Amino acid sequence: MSQTVVFPGSAVSPHEDQAAPETRIRSYWQSVGYRLRHDKATVFFGTMVLLIVLSAVLAPWLAPFDPYKESIIGRLKPMGWRGHLLGTDELGRDMLSRLLYGGRVSLLMGIVPVIFATCAGGALGVIAGFMGGKVNTGIMRTMDVFYAFPSVLLAVAISGAMGGGMSNGMLALTLVFIPPMCRVAETATTQVRALDFIEAARATGAGTMTIVRHHVLGNVLGPVFIYASSLVSVSILLASGLSFLGLGVRPPTADWGLMLSTLRQSIYVVPVVCALPGVAIFITSICFNLVSDGLRQAMDVRM
Amino acid sequence: MTRYILQRILYAIPIAFGVSVVCFSLVYLAPGDPLQTILPPDATAETIEIVKKAYGFDKPLPIQFAIWLSKVVTGDFGMSIATRRPVFDEIVMAVGNTGMLVVFAIPLAFSIGFSMGLLAGCFPGKVVDRSVTGIAVFGVSLPNYWLAIVMVIVFAVELSWLPATGMGPKGSDAFSVWRWSDARFLVLPVITLSMIPIGIIARTTRAAIAETRNQDFVQTLRAKGLGEMAVIRHVVKNALPGVLAVMGLQFGYLLGGSILVETVFTWPGSGFLLSKAIVNRDVPVLQGTILVLAVAFVTINLVVDLLQSLIDPRIRRG
């Protein structure tokens, strides 16, 4: 939306003595905030995301039981059995506590790779877009090679070859997300670079670093941020998938993907309890996805 | 036209080369010496030297890569460490089985996703549109391996309508999709695999239809008195190439990305082969499968590009 950001009668005008209608011109970020606050769905799902993150952070205080305490007699019990609100798993550990603790690993493995990939891919993209020519060709053709792998396949290949583990998994996911991130940043930079104000800045004697810092970054960060926010949901799904295949954390650490995989053998005993870790992944992924959609609309980024 | 086709093919060759470099280097990502996977732990220094020579590990890396590539091009991917069978044979069988799932899943996803997207695009902002957009978000956010487990719980465990896992008692060699006793093993994996493409295709179609409907030519069509159905026919024709391209991409994604779903259903396809190779630390199989799937992905993308330019001449000129 490129219309003017004037909203009549929304704030106290500085010129109240004049008869003109009360108007105020918002800055870009003010108008983004205005749109976000009035988008009920995004506010709701944003709150959900916040609650999910908080419940993971506060897991040691919220969990009703020790997530590692096993019980021979209390294995695979249904929901509500002896105070175990969501039942127990195949080793008699409390499901609710394990889900809360599992969120810590799953969210960490979902968010950290996106942050790293955004920094690395974004920087590469800006360099490729701003330098153009041979540098651009070199960087972007290398990225094309990684584009040639379906993302699940690349993540599994790298972390599988490196022998699994949480840090290898995060490294694999980072490598998976760098190429698309780089492409988004490169496209945005190339578009901005062709605009007149960059040339004007150069004509007034601004150095390359100044132009990049003040004129390019400001215009590239929006699309990069939106794209990164949409990657979080993908990353959580992929990270849980890696754990599901045994390429993430090692047992007995609680992790949604790993829990789903170890509970798979017990679907004939307590089907509902076995599906719970997947519900957690699904809800988290939906919330992040919808918040990202809301942000994209509020920030008016087209990709 | 010929020039465009040649250009696209020439462009795919360096990509395929890069892909093979990545696959080759996967061995060196593995912790420790790649030889360790082949050698017994009590091997003497002499044996190590002999094996090193036999496998060409004593030569410099670029030479090793050239030798490996020349073998791979002729279909020699080495021997599987776990089964001692040629990797190539295992891959051919596995990719065939995965292909069978994908060949059913993609048309299913296209018919459902496209109809949903078309409905939503024709009534933007209405209830239909909002519910389709909602369903699409569900599809895109769905962990499909979890859906696979839920499907097994509901249709195999609780209702016992369909078999939970595998390809049936006769295995993959005697499998026939025309026999219901075999084909029913396909139902759950195919439905599960089609969920994510349904979401993506519905989203893409909705956006393409909504955008095309806003173009000037639609107003011209209406102005000359065309009925709504005829207008929609024109809109669909214009929106279709983009949707088909996305469908082609999804085809490639499923071929290489069905690893989790295949693991749940123990479907003996490429993904299942991969996850077995990871468990057994079977590097030749891992390397070979990933190379074949990635090259297939590159080829599919190339074919999609070419088909798209056949349907829509604007792409060739652009």
Considering only CA atoms, which of B311, B314, B299 is closest in space to residue B248?
B299
Residue A3 pLDDT class (50, 70, 90 cuts): very low
Amino acid at A140: M
Write down the pLDDT at residue A10: 45
Amino acid at A149: F
Kindly report the CATH number assigned to the domain that includes residue B163.
Answer: 1.10.3720.10
Mind listing the pLDDT tens digit for each residue in A192-207? 888 888 888 888 888 8
- The verdict on residue B72 lying in a domain is no
- The verdict on residue B41 lying in a domain is no
Q: Say yes or no: B94 contacts chain A, CB-CB below 8 A.
A: no
Using CA atoms, how far apart are residues A11 and A26, in angstroms rounded to an integer?
10
Provide ipTM, 2 decimals. 0.83
Whether the per-residue pLDDT at A121 is higher than 90: the answer is: yes
For residue B226, what are the domain limits? 94-284+297-311
Write down the pLDDT at residue B158: 77
Between chains, do B26 and A153 touch, taking CB under 8 Å as contact? Answer: no
More confident residue, B40 or B63: B63
pTM attached to this predicted model: 0.84
The pair of three-digit structure tokens given for residue B242, joined into one six-digit string? 């983009």
Between chains, do B22 and A267 touch, taking CB under 8 Å as contact? Answer: no
Mind listing the pLDDT tens digit for each residue in B214-265? 888 888 888 888 888 888 888 888 888 888 888 888 888 888 778 888 888 8
- The verdict on residue B26 lying in a domain is no
Measured between alpha carbons, how far is residue A208 from residues A200, A201, A202, B79 in Å?
13, 10, 8, 54
Which residue ranges form the domains of chain A, and what is each CATH number?
4-8+25-299 (1.10.3720.10)
- The verdict on residue B65 lying in a domain is no
SS3 A111: helix
- The verdict on residue B35 lying in a domain is no
What residues contact B5, with CB distance under 8 A and at least 6 apart? Answer: B306
Q: Say yes or no: B65 contacts chain A, CB-CB below 8 A.
A: no
- The verdict on residue B280 lying in a domain is yes
> What's A198's DSSP letter?
H
- The verdict on residue B25 lying in a domain is no
Percent of chain A with pLDDT over 90: 16
Between chains, do A241 and B279 touch, taking CB under 8 Å as contact? Answer: no
SS3 B281: coil
Structural domains in chain B (count): 1
Mind listing the pLDDT tens digit for each residue in B139-159? 888 888 888 888 888 888 778
Which of A65-74, A259-268, B141-150 has the least mean pLDDT?
A: A65-74
CB A62 within 8 A of CB A80: no
- The verdict on residue B167 lying in a domain is yes
Q: Say yes or no: B145 contacts chain A, CB-CB below 8 A.
A: yes
Measured between alpha carbons, how far is residue A54 from residues A58, A97, A251, A257 in Å?
6, 14, 24, 20
Instruction: Count Cα neighbours of B37 within 13 Å in the Cβ-side half-sphere.
Output: 24
